[in-house]
Amino acid sequence: MATSPSANPSSVEPTSKGNKTILVAEHAGFCHGVKRAVENTLKLGDESDKKVYVIGKLIHNQQVIDQMGEKEIVTVSSLDEVPAGSICVVRTHGAPPEIVSQAEAKGVDVSDATCPDVRLVQNKAIQLAEEGYTVVVVGKEDHPEIVGITAHAGEVNGARIITINHPDDIKARLQGLPTRRIGVVSQTTQMEETFFQMVKELSKVAKELKVFNTICPATYFRQNAAAELASKVDFMVVIGGKMSSNTTHLADLCKTEGTQAIHVETYKELEGCQGLMDAKVVGVTAGASTPDWIIEEVIDYLKSL
């Protein structure tokens, strides 16, 4: 099993203003995969004479999607909505491989913004399928990243791939499949604890278990920094899209630390929050798809209290 990367020594930058002390997590906001995808897509929109479409949300942050829309970068739900002669961007979460061939057959250029860490999971799942393992992907079945991973591995002849998001589902999901040799990968934004719990349960079923811990380093660092900060503050503000798995997990982790936490997309959702009003020390963290300007707006709001 690949080991988790080491977190940097934790440090937070305290800001004492008004009535509250505000502490910001050491790792918060845009990760390298999201930054790369957003910058490249905006550049494409500025420089290309072709119209740019993104199939599905480029990242799970509606405010960033709205900004791209203002620059006439259009988010669509399927390739059917992308006309010939334009460019379609594959989102950070990746996509099934047939999207690329279908786009090319239609006369649409493809710009692939799949995060390299997601590509790694796709490749590990393909490897496990080629080696004849029953492949278990730990994650949410309908999440676009998982849809892409299972589609890539599904191209291997005779591949057997299932998705599991809770240990209680293991038995039912493996029903009728060979379980002697099981290979495991994870959604990049999975909670470590959930992943390890799943591996432990699968080890009771399989004779041979091959595990790739494919939780990405950005997720690992954000989760650890959030948990550490949550243990030091009265209240946590977790900023990011409501559809963002990694942000949702950050909020869950803070609550696991026994700290009150609220998950917001913008500062406006903090208005009238009693737990926040009562707190003296407030921690701030943000998911990997949250831009700096939204984090800064939240901090400015907290300073005003």
70, 130, 145, 228: the catalytic one is 145
Which residues 264-293 are close enough to bind ligand SF4 by CB under 6 A?
A: 288
Which residues 109-148 are close enough to bind ligand SF4 by CB under 6 A?
A: 115, 117-118
Contact range with ligand SF4 by CB under 6 A, out of 10-18, 25-33, 40-48, 259-267: 25-33
Q: How many residues bind ligand SF4 (CB under 6 A)?
A: 15
Contact range with ligand SF4 by CB under 6 A, out of 98-106, 123-131, 164-172, 216-224: 216-224
Contact pick of 156, 206, 216, 229 for ligand SF4 (by CB under 6 A)? 216
Q: What residues contact 27, with CB distance under 8 A and at least 6 apart?
A: 7, 8, 218, 221, 222, 224, 225
Q: What residues contact 284, with CB distance under 8 A and at least 6 apart?
A: 22, 23, 24, 25, 28, 236, 237, 239, 295, 298, 299, 302
Name which of 143, 136, 293 is nearest 199 in CA terms. Answer: 136
**Any contact of residue 95 with ligand SF4 (CB under 6 A)?**
no
Q: Whole-angstrom Cα distance, residue 289 to residue 61?
A: 6
Q: In terms of CB distance, is 165 or 186 closer to ligand SF4?
A: 186
Q: Based on the residue annotation, tell me whether 297 is a catalytic residue of this protein.
A: no
Q: Whole-angstrom Cα distance, residue 283 to residue 267?
A: 14
Chain contacts with ligand SF4 (rule: CB under 6 A): 31-34, 92, 115, 117-118, 188-189, 216, 218-219, 246, 288
Which active-site residues does the annotation give? 145
